[in-house]
Amino acid sequence: MVGVNKSRTAAADFSTELDRFEAKYIIPRQLVEPIKAFIRPYCTMDKHCAAAGGQYFINTLQMDNEALSLHYAKEWEAAHRFKLRVRTYGKPPGQAPVFLEIKRKYFERVIKSRACIPFDEWKPGILKKHADELNLKSVKEREAFREFVRLAEEIDARPLVYVRYCREAFTGIFDHYARITFDSQLCYQPVFDMYNWGGDGRFISMDSGLVRHRRESSLVLEVKCTEQVPTWMVELVQEFDLIRCGNCKYSTAIWMENLLIGKGEAPFSDQFMYD
């Protein structure tokens, strides 16, 4: 899932649609190495992560409307909801492609569709173009682009925040689709220019125990798979007594920004449930 070539190359995962289940856990940093040891017989480091030196940065432009409809759909646990986000990889970004993504959630299922655009084409006016004007690889990508634009116009979405974090990723050796990721160095920045990826502003850390009402600075562990959950994933959760919790990075950024400007309170640990 990381692109590092100056064109649309094999260094990026260009799958345009994925139907999966995922669960998130907030874990203390001292559990990272024991968990890595536990999954070693079943997983290998993601090839893009390995190519990037063991970890990579994810940069996401989150879009929503003035009423924060997508944020509150998550807050109110709407059974059917979606996010609109624009994503690229690396720090600083500039080589990886830009992905326009729709991430839908239907109860426990997560369905993600996306269209891939070369980085140097991410510039003003791109969302006004017709899908046929872009060098999209497939019918599904063209459909994903049209749907992204349709939804953005339908809810009057605009860019709100950049979210950036560092990811270590591992993939299952024997499974059709199984993925373990560790996310750290979470931070955000209110959007001032939706095309410069936060280069002119200061990022605000979300990687703090204060955000989650915890003593330590913790990490986000994500477990992702298809409907058939591998046995080793079940054993992983049991072995480390992991407690599933919600951790929407976009919503956390909204909570923190509201706190900083005096508009509300962030939920704490007892409210971080079942994202």
Count of CB atoms situated within 10 Å of the CB of 191: 19
- Has residue 155 got a pLDDT over 50? yes
Predicted TM-score (pTM) of the model is 0.85
Which amino acid, 100?
Answer: L
DSSP 143: H
pLDDT given at position 55 = 95
The predicted-structure confidence for 58-93, as pLDDT tens digits, reads as follows 999 999 999 999 999 998 889 899 999 999 999 888
- Mean per-residue pLDDT over the chain, rounded: 85
Q: What are the residue ranges spanned by the domains of the chain?
A: 17-271
DSSP assignment string, 88-134: EESSS-SSS-EEEEEEEEETTEEEEEEEEE-GGG-STTGGGS-GGGS
4 or 213: whose pLDDT is higher? 213
Q: SS3 for 210?
A: coil
Tell me which residue of 68, 90, 121 sits closest to 12, measured CA to CA: 90
Least confident of 134-138, 153-157, 184-188: 134-138
- Write the pLDDT tens digit of every residue in 192-239: 889 999 988 899 988 765 555 555 567 899 999 987 889 999 999 999
The CATH class of the 17-271 domain is alpha beta
Judge whether residue 274 has pLDDT over 70: no
User: 81-132 pLDDT, tens per residue?
Assistant: 999 999 999 988 888 999 999 999 988 788 999 999 999 999 999 999 988 8
pLDDT at 270 (0 to 100): 44
pLDDT at position 18 is 58
